[in-house]
Amino acid sequence: MIPDLAALHAQGAAQQPTYPDSEAVDAAVARLRHFPPLVFAGECDELKTKLAAVSRGEAFLLQGGDCAETFAGVTADNVKNKLRVLLQMAVVLTYAGSVPVVKLGRLAGQYAKPRSSDTETRGDVTLPAYRGDAVNGFDFTPEARTPDPQRLVDVYNASAATLNLIRAFVNGGYADLRQVHTWNNDFVRESPHAQRYELMAGEIERALTFMKAIGADPDEFHRVDFHSSHEALVLEYEHAMTRIDSRTELPYDVSSHFVWIGERTRQLDGAHVELLSRIQNPIGVKLGPTSTADDALALAAKLNPTNEAGRLTFITRFGAGKIRHGLPSLVEKVTAAGVNVAWVCDPMHGNTFEASSGYKTRAFDDVIEEVQGFFDVHRSLGTWPGGVHVELTGDDVTECVGGGEELAEIDLGNRYESVCDPRLNRVQSLELSFLVAEMLRKA
């Protein structure tokens, strides 16, 4: 049984908005409970099967998308651009890394963000912190920053629109492997990664022509399986979107195929762990530098007591300077305990710093160094580096420094569009995929 919302809040719920009008909250939750599911339980089960293959070392997970989605970003071009860069990355990883790639978007629900402080002060004005479009507005005014539960209904509508677009693209021909050149048409032509991608796309095209000539044209060449994910943060939304599956009579969170618990909300006796322990979706937990092997084992016991393969993913986010020291003991003890888990690297959240210009940024070299450390640790232990979890966009933003474009701190103001954390742009994302593919070959 799923505990009711009041019981969850009483248990201790970190990172929750403080709504001024409880009746408005109840009304929004009641509306959400009557809306159709955004995803289906059977789709969640399919993803769990794919993640089981990741945990066995038979596949690799690519999880990526916005740090925080915005309602204004729900446009056909924006969704297509994010899908395109993920498809390009997946093709690179599959072809160059010679391993099946599970594609998981950080989208269609990633509208809420945990914050290190409940408030933000500018000059002599203090207002509630921006917690994502699911909670309040980005503008620094009392009206915008007041948490509004109606926004949870807006999250549902925005997520539904995004999923409709994604399904139309992946089933309507855009994800056809014969489109590999088309995905690159408007890329920066002088980028070495665009040229490298074109060479690989040509090889894929020749292979497809050969396959067709011998009469092989499987469905997998024309469409892809693409799933959605987000951090399960605002309890009202996740609870309202949890439904009993008619096939199994078991509860699923039908807001997304995969939901995860963040570093700030993974308390073993907290409300988020309690809620996600009751649903059947595949789930993830972020583990940072303060995580111990005992923490990981206790979370696995609580969240996956039957040790079901594909159910649990540990997403590690140590930082480039800490990954080699902090990760080995976790992997060793969890593996020795026989726990079924997929290990995935988040090389973004442990590598954020403030540039001299005041912009929050990340260095591309730090991102790559953390992924390399992740692979090195797993190789030394004989375990499988199961995937990467990356904040990225399909646009040519200037939010992370470095990479092939050699973006400098002075360039950050040119096109800094994120409302929360800095994302890799399209060129940096493609460069990352080639570098990870090389690591995969060695793994």
Per-residue pLDDT tens over the stretch 371-414: 999 999 999 999 999 999 999 999 999 999 999 889 999 999 99
Query: Is the per-residue pLDDT at 57 higher than 90?
Result: yes
**What is the structure's pLDDT at 189?**
59
Residues facing 122 on adjacent strands: 125
Report the distance separating Cα 286 and Cα 113, nearest Å. Answer: 14
Per-residue pLDDT at 194:
75
The CA distance from 147 to 141, in Å, is 12
Quote the mean pLDDT of the chain: 94
Question: How large is the average pLDDT for residues 71-99?
Answer: 93
Confidence of residue 201 (pLDDT cuts 50, 70, 90): confident
pLDDT above 80 for 85: yes
pLDDT surpassing 80 at residue 202: yes
Give the pLDDT confidence score for residue 190 in this predicted structure.
60
Q: How many CA atoms lie within 13 A of 400 on its CB side?
A: 32
Tell me how far apart the alpha carbons of residues 252 and 40 are, in angstroms, rounded to a whole number. 9
Cα distance between residue 304 and residue 294, in whole Å: 15
Report pLDDT for 187. 61
User: Residue 79 is which amino acid?
Assistant: V
- Is 51 within 8 Å of 342 (Cβ atoms)? yes
- Predicted pLDDT at 404: 85
Res 204 pLDDT > 90 = no
Token pair of 79, please? 């969704």
Most confident of 85-99, 154-168, 395-409, 429-443: 154-168
Q: How far apart are CA 359 and CA 267, in angstroms?
A: 31
First to last CA, the chain: 42
CA distance 9 to 69: 25
Would you state the pLDDT for residue 417?
95
The pLDDT of residue 439 is above 60: yes
Mean pLDDT of 159-166: 97
186: pLDDT confidence band, cut at 50, 70 and 90?
low
